Amino acid sequence: MTCTPMWIDTHCHLDAAEFGAAHEPALAARERARRQGVGLCVIPAVERANWTAVRELAHRTGDAYALGIHPLYVPRARDEDLDALDAELAARRGDPRLVAVGEIGLDFFVPALCEPAMRERQDRFYRVQLRLARRHGLPVILHVRRSADALLRHLRELPPGGGIAHAFSGSAEQARAFLGLGFKLGLGGAATFEPARRLRALASELPLDALVLETDAPDIPPQWLYATAAERAAGRPQGVNSPAELPRIGAVIAALRGLAPADLARATTANALAALPRLAGVEEGPA
């Protein structure tokens, strides 16, 4: 038992090209995060082509991973990728670092994904993956963008064993609905922006056992890394988010709740283990 509480980054695309095509920059970013107290990262997959990469990276960095097809990748996914996912989940059944089916969900923000045929295709990929999560006894990591009510409707029909609604930014009512279905809500850099009043109100008012923390790195930079369009035009580059930002994001959310950061770290770590029970069997550090 250590006295420094550990942070868990429940959503981090450490294999993304922004960290460098080779593994080395990702490993350096992960090492920086470890020095900041981030004991574990969950690396979700986005499409069949990166399933091997996320698994190998999680083994190299001593972290956890999820396997799935992200809604933004549904247009280029093939139907047989769903069968391949079933086979891959079966093949990795004994791998303790596989903790969820994800990242799956629905995206009704991107216009091309809102065309009727594509909505239908997204629905189908989402529902098949919910069924796979049930078959393989895994929770799910959900991508929610303008889609909370639709996601909830399918979840009620095909309830998996809980999971995480990642980058949650819905209403209090939608939050309660996800919690009622056994989900935790993922909060990250978006809550560090002062104008995000509704999200910050949720971050301060939701029950403490509802929350898990995430960076979604390299996406969703926190306020201190974010360059506005004007700043970018003036030559300031957009900062690249990384898992090392998690404790600072956590400190902002702790302050919103009037908590000590260590107490938020303890609570959100326990919540992450409740949402993704196999995390308890992941040994920290490279194998």
Question: Which residue has the CB atom at the shortest distance from Zn ion?
Answer: 103
Q: Do 262 and 252 form a contact (C-beta atoms < 8 A)?
A: no
Nearer to Zn ion by Cβ, of 14 and 259: the residue is 14
Least Å from the CB of residue 103 to Zn ion: 5
Helical H segments across 1-115, by residue range: 23-35, 51-61, 80-91
Nearer to Zn ion by Cβ, of 97 and 143: the residue is 143
Least Å from the CB of residue 13 to Zn ion: 6
Compute the distance between CA of residue 215 and CA of residue 130 in angstroms, rounded to an integer. Answer: 24
26 to 32, 118, 242, 251: CA distances (angstroms): 10, 33, 9, 24
Nearer to Zn ion by Cβ, of 143 and 259: the residue is 143
Nearer to Zn ion by Cβ, of 130 and 144: the residue is 144
Least Å from the CB of residue 44 to Zn ion: 6
Nearer to Zn ion by Cβ, of 15 and 103: the residue is 103
Strands (E) across the chain are located at 7-9, 38-43, 64-67, 98-107, 140-145, 163-166, 183-187, 211-213
Q: Which spans of this chain sit near Zn ion (rule: CB under 5 A)?
A: 103
Question: What three-state secondary structure class fits 63?
Answer: coil
205 to 37, 151, 201, 257: CA distances (angstroms): 26, 23, 6, 7
Q: How many CA atoms lie within 13 A of 256 on its CB side?
A: 22
Nearer to Zn ion by Cβ, of 178 and 259: the residue is 178
Least Å from the CB of residue 235 to Zn ion: 29
Q: Which residue has the tokens 């990384």?
A: 242
Least Å from the CB of residue 218 to Zn ion: 10
- Specify the DSSP element, H or E, that contains 255: helix 246-257
Least Å from the CB of residue 65 to Zn ion: 12
Q: Radius of gyration over alpha carbons of the chain, in Å?
A: 18
Nearer to Zn ion by Cβ, of 9 and 88: the residue is 9
Q: Burial level of 258, CB count in 10 A (0-12/13-18/19+)? A: exposed
The DSSP letter of residue 47 is S
Compute the distance between CA of residue 17 and CA of residue 207 in angstroms, rounded to an integer. Answer: 36
Compute the distance between CA of residue 243 and CA of residue 201 in angstroms, rounded to an integer. Answer: 24
Q: What six digits make up the tokens of 87? A: 């086979």
Least Å from the CB of residue 236 to Zn ion: 25
Nearer to Zn ion by Cβ, of 103 and 245: the residue is 103
Least Å from the CB of residue 259 to Zn ion: 26
